[in-house]
């Protein structure tokens, strides 16, 4: 058995076996033959994934028929020793959710136009990973090294108009440095270049993250332009401020003051003492890459084989 389920059980030769499956493929859906199992893909962890939006025939099923198909499928998957089921339901087929819930499925997460339900089939408690519960905010500390001035803003929508670094939420699939550069440009009109990562703040039960956890990352950026044209909808003020002044003023957020002191130390003593630089490496997943942030290594260690 190949492990791929498609309106019945497929053999290694790709033929559909079972009387119900033969009737389905010979007569077609119009003839009224109901397939015995949902189409599913087997993952590398031993589970199966069902995308209802990829199964056009289910779009015309009623809830009772879908529930019967799902029950047949679960019997088959359990017999095959599958560990879990991931059921992706498009919003226009949400009528199938009660049938899935009655058979033990629970919500895992929802996106714009689909929801994902899961059911653990293995022994013991579920070992399925939880959905990501963090939002990632990124700010850019744009420092002009020629005069020691840094770019700061005051948010228009905050109750306390304190100086801070421009920034915002990272988009899915967007690198940290790219987020910082984009947000600085959108808020201030300043073009910049990513140089390093400076700090990471972790905060839980964040009201702005719907009660989930929040990661706030500040990057050091190099300015490529200097004429400010800030967004009036987001910013009340925007200016270049002396780094020493920012480190001392009481009109800055606590984290801004802390990073201003860190920048001042790097500006005076060398950025190699504060920078977490980014390196790109190939991931274990074919064709994918990741970025690793860390302090710069001495050449003798940088060129050592099998460093990872």
- The one catalytic residue in 63, 80, 186, 234 is 186
Residue of 39, 48, 51, 46 whose CA lies nearest to 5: 39
287: left (phi over 0), alpha (psi -120 to 50) or beta: left
Pairing mode, if any, of strands 48-51 and 9-10?
A: unpaired
**CA–CA separation, 269 vs 306, rounded Å?**
32
Torsion, Cα of 203, 205, 208, 213 (10° steps):
50
What is the DSSP-derived secondary structure letter of residue 174?
-
Q: Is-contact 252 164, C-beta < 8 A? A: yes
Residue 186 designated active-site? yes
Q: Long-range contacts for 243-251 (Cβ within 8 Å, ≥24 apart)?
A: 243/143, 243/148, 243/149, 243/150, 243/267, 244/148, 246/150, 246/152, 246/163, 249/163, 251/162, 251/163
Which residues carry out catalysis? Answer: 186
């Amino acid at each position: 058995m190949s492990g791929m389920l498609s309106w019945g059980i497929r053999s290694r030769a790709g033929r559909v076996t079972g009387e119900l499956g033969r009737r389905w493929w010979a007569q077609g859906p119009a003839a009224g033959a109901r397939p015995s199992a949902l189409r599913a893909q087997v993952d590398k962890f031993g589970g199966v994934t069902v995308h209802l939006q990829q199964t056009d025939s289910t779009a015309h099923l009623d809830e009772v028929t879908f529930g019967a198909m799902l029950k047949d499928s679960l019997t088959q998957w359990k017999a095959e020793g599958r560990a879990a089921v991931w059921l992706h339901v498009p919003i226009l087929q949400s009528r199938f959710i009660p049938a899935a819930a009655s058979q033990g499925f629970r919500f895992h997460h929802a996106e714009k136009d689909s929801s994902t339900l899961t059911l653990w089939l293995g022994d013991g408690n579920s070992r399925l990973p939880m959905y990501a519960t963090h939002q990632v905010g990124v700010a850019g500390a744009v420092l002009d090294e020629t005069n020691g001035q840094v770019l700061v803003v005051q948010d228009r929508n905050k109750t306390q108009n304190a100086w801070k670094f421009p920034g915002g939420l990272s988009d899915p699939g967007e690198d940290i440095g790219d987020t910082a550069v984009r947000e600085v440009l959108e808020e201030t009109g300043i073009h910049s270049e990513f140089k390093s990562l400076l700090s990471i703040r972790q905060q839980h039960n964040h009201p702005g993250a719907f009660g989930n956890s929040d990661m706030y990352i500040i990057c050091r950026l190099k300015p490529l332009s200097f004429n400010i044209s800030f967004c009036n909808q987001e910013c009340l003020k925007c200016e270049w401020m002396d780094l020493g002044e920012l480190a001392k003023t009481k009109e800055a957020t606590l984290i801004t003051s802390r990073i201003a002191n860190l920048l001042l130390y790097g500006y005076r003593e060398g950025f190699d003492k504060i920078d977490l630089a980014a390196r790109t490496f190939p991931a274990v997943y074919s064709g994918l890459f990741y970025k690793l942030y860390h302090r710069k290594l001495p050449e003798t260690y940088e060129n050592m084989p099998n460093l990872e």
